Amino acid sequence: MLFNLDGQVALVTGASRGIGRAIAEQLVAAGATVVGTATSASGAESIGAYLGDKGMGYAVDVTDADAVAELLKAIDEKYGQLDILVNNAGITRDNLLMRMKDDEWDAVLDTNLKAVFRMCKGVMRGMMKRRNGRIINISSVVGTTGNPGQANYCAAKAGLVGFSKSLAQEIAARGITVNCVSPGFIDTDMTKSLTDDQKQSIFKNIPTARLGAPEEVAAAVVFLASPAAAYVTGETIHVNGGMAMV
Amino acid sequence: MSTIEERVKKIIIEQLGVKEEEVKPEASFENDLGADSLDTVELVMALEEEFETEIPDEEAEKIKTVQSAIDYVTNHSND
């Protein structure tokens, strides 16, 4: 069973809705136990509700180093292992660079890039000892193409790709793979704020002429998390309906 | 209870997959025992766990031979 994740434990950040939720649900469908995080207690509760006995929701601010350490300790105490880490939590603070404030830059870099560094560092020791692990970082098509008004977000998302390639080279010999999944325009709360006009102009650049579904991103994550992808590392899988073929 | 020296040597044997007779005091992890940079980081992690201590990076960099590992632990152990 190449795609079977029975007996594996996964951590998915930003799992209360959108792509993160779809990832958590599909990892469970493949057999994994999933810990999903959200920033709020109510978000964590809703994760616990949809996961049921297949995992748990956990409220944590991924930029809070102490809180992240506590989370990893709690997972270790409850499950004794962590096989799969999916860094999905992300935020946007869009602004043209001329007007971008330091705090808009810092907030996006802290959540979308620095938190990933810290989370990876936190899970590596256990994975290295067991000579097994899967780290999947959710990047974005705009990390490759750029996007006006999102210099901070694009910098962080492009940063994840270089980060992942470096880490992949450091720990490949320990049986740990590090990859990115890079979604295009996906039907989530993050893209719901787009107007119809904006959507139409975006569709012009998407050969499939539609938004992607969160499940279509999750499928790529499950592949990378599975034994089937043991020989894939440092790679970025683009899931964007053909909008950027790179 | 094993001595510090025995415990350190046991960890080196386990971590680097080397034979006991190779673990001489002057043996260098990288030059004599075939360790790469990640192996030495893992070795330091294993020492930290065994002796319940935290080895700062600048100290860890100096731990390059079997004897230097034994010396570090001997000087910093609470046992």
A35-56: pLDDT as tens digits: 999 999 999 999 999 999 999 9
Q: Tokens 């080279």: give the residue.
A: A169
The alpha carbon of residue B77 is apart from the nearest alpha carbon of chain A, in Å, by 22
Does the beta-carbon distance from B38 to A125 stay under 8 Å?
A: no
CA proximity to B43, closest of B27, B19, B66, B20:
B66
Per-residue model confidence (pLDDT) at position A88: 98
C-alpha separations of A53 from A28, A187, A225 in Å: 10, 28, 21
Residue A2 inside a domain? The answer is no
pLDDT at residue B79 is higher than 70: no
Q: Which residues contact B44 (CB under 8 A, 6 or more apart)?
A: B55, B60, B63
Cβ density class A141-156: b for 16+ within 10 Å, e for less: bbbbeeeeebbbbbbb
Q: Could you tell me if A130 lies within 8 Å of chain B, comparing CB atoms?
A: no
Arithmetic mean of pLDDT over chain A? 96
- Is A15 annotated in some ligand binding site? yes
CA proximity to A85, closest of A24, A142, A143:
A24
- Is A16 annotated in some ligand binding site? yes
Number of domains in chain A: 1
Which site among B38, B47, B57 would you substitute to test the A interface, given the most A Cβ atoms closer than 10 Å to its Cβ?
Answer: B38
Burial (Cβ within 10 Å: 0-12, 13-18, ≥19) of residue A20: buried
Residue A101 inside a domain? The answer is yes
Residue A186 inside a domain? The answer is yes
Instruction: Return d(Cα B75, Cα B53) in angstroms, integer.
Output: 12
Segments forming the whole domain that contains residue A163: 9-238
The alpha carbon of residue B38 is apart from the nearest alpha carbon of chain A, in Å, by 7
pTM value?
0.91
> In the 8-state DSSP scheme, what is residue A229?
G
Residue A3 inside a domain? The answer is no
CATH superfamily of B4-76: ACP-like (1.10.1200.10)
pLDDT at residue B2 is higher than 90: no
Residue A244 inside a domain? The answer is no
Q: Which residues contact B46 (CB under 8 A, 6 or more apart)?
A: B11, B14, B15
Q: Chain B residues with CB inside 8 Å of A170's CB?
A: 38
Instruction: Return d(Cα A20, Cα A88) in angstroms, integer.
Output: 6
Residue A1 inside a domain? The answer is no
pLDDT tens digits, one per residue of A146-184? 999 999 999 999 999 999 999 999 999 999 999 999 999
Residue A174 inside a domain? The answer is yes
Backbone angles phi, psi at A86, to 5 degrees: -115, 110
What is the sign, positive or negative, of the torsion defined by CA atoms of A54, A8, A61, A192? negative
Instruction: Return d(Cα A55, Cα A126) in angstroms, integer.
Output: 19
